[in-house]
Amino acid sequence: HQKLEREARICRQLKHPNIVRLHDSISEEGFHYLVFDLVTGGELFEDIVAREFYSEADASHCIQQVLEAVRHCHESNIVHRDLKPENLLLASKTKGAAVKLADFGLAIEVNGEQTQWYGFAGTPGYLSPEVLKKEPYGKPVDIWACGVILYILLVGYPPFWDEDQHRLYNQIKSGAYDYPSPEWDTVTTEAKRLIDSMLSINPSRRISATDALKHPWICVNAAVSATGIQSTTNGKKSSSSTGPISPTTNPIMSAPASGGNRSRATTQSGGSSAIKESGDSNSATIDDTNDIERIDRLSLEITKVTEQLLQAIANSDYEMYKSLCDPKITCFEPETIGNLVEGLDFHKFYFDTVLSAKASKPTINCTMLTPVVHTLGDESACIAYVLLLQYIDRNGQAQSVRTEETRVWHKKDSRWLCVHFHRSGMPVAAAIKSSFSSTLF
């Protein structure tokens, strides 16, 4: 139910001619319904197989519409996470009908260009390297999938394939694909360059949807070869969009069979291809359904443990502070004049002197403002926030000091420990020296 609510919330934000539109969501007698546009054209790849002629210009027009949909999603801070041929539909059977992006069941809401670990989700052949490596990710994962789709649109088979999923994932993580002959011999260099820019294993270097739409192969029809990529007069010739095709057949796309099965071409004697239906673990959508909830839970844990640490400082409770820190904690802060400090000796010194009960200091109220947590897997996280320190000076006037802090936490033996922090600005003690000599860290 929560997953459907999230999908409905996301779909309500998306209004674009290349996205299947949500009209209503209904809950009735324990059942939940999402009412979308009536889309009657079937899957895009089914239409391509049925065509008598298919050119680079056609492929360019198809991927352009997909990129338009993706750009709208990304401008709305939505990441689809499951872009693949099955989710590209045609609005109607009419010639030239619009391509529609569907199925936002795995879609997530993101914070601009920031990255985070949102869980392992998608379809194996279309997963990006950063997802497979379980690294923080964001909008570029959709562009990677677009690159895989464009590759398939042009030759009918995917850039990455192996029966063994472990080997498949290694191919993807290393970006091990090529443009084999003869299928790629007639494909233009510009098309290959666009694919390369989409399939960069470094997400920060991967082209954006906006920039991809400006690519010459997309926006300048004259740059696209009108040479037919394939003849589809023989409707029985087909190959899976996620499996290898026989090198003796023309590269033609086919939609996967229903029920999660895929068509896979196998080479037969005589140079023909035969289709067999089989369950394919590499084509099944993966969804760690609890990941988003888990991330929310981890973010709450990190926020709370950071508040506990700040409270220990405010209360001059070194034992509590020590229990929340790794013994080899590192830090950069103004009090150390830019030096990297390792271990707790420096911290103990401040608790024993500046934060000592005997030291003259005001009662300081600590407030953590605008905390942002980035989870780095199940056992690591980073939190950044503004720390507001409020106190009454010796003249009875209210004063405040703001500092910016970042803390890195790591879970060891089921306990969160602060392993590093960094504070900017001037030393807190100097900031309030006109009233009292005190510092917090």
Is 51 contained in some domain? yes
Tell me the average pLDDT of the chain: 79
How many domains, in total, are found in the chain? 2
d(CA 40, CA 114): 37
Alpha-carbon distance values, 304 to 245, 351, 368 (Å): 54, 22, 11
Do 297 and 333 fall into the same domain? yes
Do 245 and 298 fall into the same domain? no
Instruction: Summarize pLDDT for 146-171 with one digit per residue, the tens.
Output: 999 999 999 988 999 988 888 999 99
Do 103 and 151 fall into the same domain? yes
Is 144 contained in some domain? yes
Do 315 and 193 fall into the same domain? no
Q: State the CATH number of the domain containing residue 390.
A: 3.10.450.50
Do 241 and 307 fall into the same domain? no
- Least confidently predicted of 58-67, 264-273, 371-380, 425-434: 264-273
d(CA 368, CA 406): 11
Do 79 and 136 fall into the same domain? yes
**Which tops the pLDDT comparison, 428 or 123?**
123
Supply the residues annotated as catalytic.
Answer: 82
Instruction: Summarize pLDDT for 288-330 with one digit per residue, the tens.
Output: 645 656 677 788 899 999 999 998 888 888 999 999 999 999 9
Q: State the CATH number of the domain containing residue 70.
A: 1.10.510.10
Domain extent for 208: 2-287
Do 85 and 207 fall into the same domain? yes
Is 438 contained in some domain? no
Query: Domain boundary at 287, 302, 320, which?
Result: 287
Instruction: Summarize pLDDT for 350-374 with one digit per residue, the tens.
Output: 888 766 655 556 667 778 888 889 8
Do 132 and 183 fall into the same domain? yes
Q: Enter the tokens of residue 374.
A: 């980035």
Mean per-residue pLDDT, 71-77: 96
Is 48 contained in some domain? yes
Q: Which residues pair with 420 in a beta bridge?
A: 330, 408
The pTM of the full predicted model, rounded to 2 decimals, is 0.59
